Structure 1
Amino acid sequence: MDLQISVFLLFILFTAGHSFSCYECAGLEDSCGIKKVKTCPRGSSKCMSSTAVTQVGAISAKLKAKDCAVDCASGSMNLGIIKRSSVCCNTDRCNLHDAPDPSIDSNGKKCYFCDGKNCSNTVSCSGSEDHCITSTASYGELLVIKGCASKSICDTVTSVNDVQRTSCCSGNLCNGVQSVTQSFLFLCCSLLSFILLH
């Protein structure tokens, strides 16, 4: 009996001292720049690396980020003016490499996306983006975003705070045409920040 208790206490001693860690950085460059090792808070069990590209007219910006994550999915999303890819892993410091640039090669699927108040624009999906996504929230007025997403992204964003409803469908242009009063960038940034930081 004493041997069992000793082995149990030894096990607790070795497992209690281990903390999960990931690389942490954010940058508007081709890479994250200086990567720091971050001890993840309780509940975080994954490391993530993400690349987001924003294109508004001739102006383009690329943001790369790495951090700890509670819930994370590898995949990509295209919301018209914002394209994002992420890679998630579950071992210490496994997020050393940057997530790939969001693919520009079309996979043949199309979805609607919103540009201001107009949600009748179409976007070509790429890579693993095999679903159309629609998210709505209400901040005094109805806010809607639409676009392409990987199934893994659709499964993750159903728990985004402040978003009342997220739905995904797998048919071509299945996320419907709809024009509403909205603040596209506000909702888009809320959704993107949740995906990047959780």
Structure 2
Amino acid sequence: MNFRKMMFFTFVLGIWILPTADTLKCYDCPPDTTKSWTESCTETIAECPEMYDQCVVTRHLFFRGGKKITDVIFKGCAQADVCLEKSFNFGLSKMILRSKCCTGNLCNTQIPDYSSIPNGKKCFSCQASNCTVNCEGGEDYCITARVNVGGEIRIMKGCTSKGTCDTIVNEIRKEYGVEKISCCEGNYCNNDF
């Protein structure tokens, strides 16, 4: 065998026996639109695309009048920027979105906990100065939003998390008819709008 054929053979053999790169595998549990919000999804195993370097478990909770309305769990592949806590607490209604990320194969097994323990921060929850909401968990900012609901303008006030203010304020504005929204730091800082 001449030298060139031997080099080509060695090259092809080397490529053939190279180990394949391991891709991250995560438990995958997307929302199922055929089920109610309270039912769990069907869990499978997914190989993550290259752009996703973490596994995630996301918990979405919604409360109205102190009663839990939804508690939904999603699992899948993610990028690090989705691993935040986001919340709105307007007193009578509250929405919490918590994500827990990890970097090992099939590591997304632990469901994020939820804390309703007051953290000492207080915000106004309505137009009058005597409406107060006690912020809970990671809610470290006050929020005020002017919302157009069927042509009627409503002012909503309460507590939120810094992650919410930093990342999804513009998305909320577009999706929910919010005309104006502001976040501030400090007790009762949302008194004017």
- Residue of structure 1 equivalent to 2:38: 28
**TM-score relative to the length of structure 2:** 0.60
Alignment of 1:8-157 (within 5 A): 14-15=20-21, 18=23, 21-25=26-30, 27-28=37-38, 32=40, 34-38=42-46, 47-56=56-65, 59-68=67-76, 69=78, 71-77=81-87, 78-80=89-91, 81-91=93-103, 92-101=105-114, 103-113=115-125, 121-136=131-146, 141=151, 142=153, 144-157=155-168
Please list the CA deviations of residues 86-121 of structure 1 after superposition, one character each: whole Å capped at 9, or x if unmatched. 0231535443222213x222111112335xxx6764
Distance 2:157 2:62 in 1: 16
- The 1:20–1:176 alpha-carbon spacing in structure 2 relative to 1, beyond 3 Å, is farther
Cα distance 1:63–1:41, how it changes in 2: closer, same or farther (>3 A)?
Answer: farther
SS at match of 1:160: helix
The answer for unaligned runs of 5 or more in structure 2 is 1-6, 32-36
| More moved, 37-46 vs 143-152 | 37-46
Work out the CA distance in 2 between the residues paired with 1:66 and 1:154: 23
Question: Which position in structure 1 is the counterpart of 2:3?
Answer: none
Moved over 6 A (4+): none
Cα RMSD of the aligned pairs, angstroms, is: 4.0
Unpaired runs of 5+ residues, structure 1, are 179-198
Is the contact between residue 131 and residue 148 of structure 1 (CA under 8 Å) also seen in structure 2?
yes
**The structure with more radius of gyration:** 2
CA 1:61–1:139: 2 relative to 1, 3 Å: closer
Report the AA paired with residue 174 of structure 1: C
Q: How far apart, in 1, do the equivalents of 2:150 and 2:128 lie?
A: 19
